[in-house]
C-alpha cells in the first residue's frame, strides 16, 4: 500500500512539473494553427483575385478585335515618319504629274547645275557658325531662289533636293532617317515657297527679295520641325518648340536678310530672266 501511494505521489509531482511546458506547447500549437488558417485565407483571397483578373482579361480579349503583329508595328511608327512619307509621296505625285509641263532641256539643266555650284561654294564661306549646326553665309540661298523663281516650283523642287543631298554628302549630321530627309533635301526643297512672290502684283525689282524671304520661311519651318522632333534634348527646361524657334532664327534670320539685301540690288532680276530663257 505504501508503495502504491509513493508511486501515485511521484506521478502527481511529475504531472505538476510538466504542466507549464504542456501549456506552452499547446499555446504554440494554437498560434501555429491560427497562422496557418490566416495564410490559407490570404492564399484563397489571392487566388480569388487572380481568378477575377483572369476572367476580366479573357472578357476584354473577347471584346477587343484581334490585331496582327504587323499592324501593331505600324502603330508604333512615330507620327512624323508618316508625315514625311506623305510629303514625299505628294511631292512625287506632283513631280510626275507636272513632268510634261516642266520639261528639262540642256540649257535648263546647265543653269540648274550652275546655280547649285554657286550656292555650294558660297555655303563653304561661313561668316558665322552656330555650335549645334547652321551658319550665316554670303547669300548662299540666293542662286537657288533665283533658279526656283525662273524655272518654277517643279524644277525648283528638284534642284532644291539635289542641293540638299550635296550638303548631306559634304557635311552630314544624321541621327535618324527621317531627320536626314527633313534637314537636307526637304529643307532646301521647301524654298520653292519663294515662287509665290511671282504671283503677287509687285514690281519685278521687289519680287526677288520677297521670294528670298518666303524661301527663308520655308527653310525655317523645316528647321524648326526638325529641332522640335529630333533635338528636343538640347532644349532643357526652355521647351523644345521655343528653343527650336529661337535657335534656328538666330542664323537663318541674318542669312536670309543678307540674301534679301543682295537680291534688292538693281539688275538682279535680269539674272532671273536670263535663267528663264529656254534657248
Domains of the chain and CATH, by start: 79-276 (1.10.1760.20)
The per-residue pLDDT for 236 is 75
Which DSSP helix (H) or strand (E) runs through 78? none
How deeply is 83 buried, as exposed, middle or buried, from its count of CB atoms within 10 A (0-12, 13-18, 19+)? middle
Distance CA 188, CA 46 (A): 63
Separation of alpha carbons 104 and 111, rounded Å? 11
pLDDT at 104: 82
The pLDDT, as a whole number, for residue 202 is: 86
Instruction: Note the helical H segments in 67-194.
Output: 69-75, 79-97, 106-123, 142-151, 153-170, 177-183, 185-189
Element (H, E) at 136: strand 135-136
pLDDT at 22: 47
pLDDT of residue 111: 95
pLDDT (0 to 100) of residue 201: 87
**pLDDT (tens digit, 0 to 9) for every residue of the chain, 279 residues total?**
555 555 556 555 554 554 555 455 545 555 655 565 466 556 556 656 665 676 666 565 555 455 456 556 656 666 556 666 666 666 666 556 555 566 788 899 999 999 999 999 999 999 888 877 788 999 999 999 999 999 999 999 999 999 999 999 988 888 888 889 999 999 999 999 999 999 988 888 899 999 999 999 999 999 999 999 888 887 777 888 999 999 999 999 999 999 999 999 988 999 999 999 876
What was the pLDDT predicted at 203? Answer: 85
Angle (CA) 106 107 110, round 5°: 85
Q: The pTM is what?
A: 0.68
Amino acid at each position: 500500500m505504501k508503495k502504491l501511494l509513493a508511486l501515485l505521489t511521484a506521478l502527481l509531482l511529475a504531472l505538476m512539473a510538466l504542466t507549464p511546458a504542456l501549456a506552452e506547447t499547446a499555446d504554440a500549437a494554437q498560434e501555429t494553427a491560427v497562422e496557418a488558417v490566416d495564410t490559407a485565407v490570404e492564399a484563397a483571397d489571392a487566388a480569388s483575385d487572380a481568378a477575377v483578373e483572369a476572367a476580366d482579361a479573357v472578357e476584354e480579349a473577347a471584346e477587343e478585335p484581334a490585331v496582327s503583329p504587323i499592324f501593331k508595328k505600324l502603330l508604333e511608327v512615330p507620327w512624323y515618319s508618316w508625315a514625311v512619307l506623305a510629303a514625299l509621296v505628294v511631292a512625287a505625285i506632283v513631280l510626275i504629274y507636272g513632268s510634261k509641263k516642266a520639261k528639262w532641256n540642256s540649257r535648263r539643266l546647265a543653269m540648274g547645275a550652275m546655280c547649285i555650284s554657286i550656292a555650294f561654294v558660297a555655303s563653304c564661306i561661313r561668316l558665322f557658325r552656330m555650335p549645334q549646326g547652321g551658319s550665316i553665309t554670303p547669300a548662299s540661298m540666293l542662286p537657288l531662289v533665283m533658279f526656283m523663281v525662273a524655272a518654277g516650283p517643279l524644277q525648283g523642287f528638284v534642284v532644291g533636293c539635289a542641293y540638299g543631298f550635296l550638303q548631306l554628302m559634304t557635311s552630314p549630321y544624321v541621327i535618324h532617317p527621317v531627320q536626314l530627309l527633313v534637314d537636307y533635301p526637304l529643307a532646301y526643297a521647301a524654298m520653292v515657297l519663294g515662287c509665290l512672290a511671282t504671283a503677287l502684283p509687285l514690281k519685278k525689282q521687289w519680287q526677288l527679295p520677297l521670294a528670298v524671304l518666303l524661301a527663308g520661311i520655308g527653310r525655317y519651318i523645316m528647321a524648326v520641325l526638325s529641332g522640335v522632333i529630333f533635338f528636343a534634348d538640347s532644349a532643357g527646361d526652355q521647351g523644345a518648340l521655343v528653343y527650336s524657334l529661337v535657335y534656328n532664327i538666330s542664323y537663318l534670320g541674318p542669312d536670309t536678310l543678307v540674301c534679301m539685301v543682295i537680291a534688292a540690288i538693281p539688275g538682279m532680276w535680269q539674272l532671273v530672266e536670263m535663267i528663264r530663257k529656254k534657248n
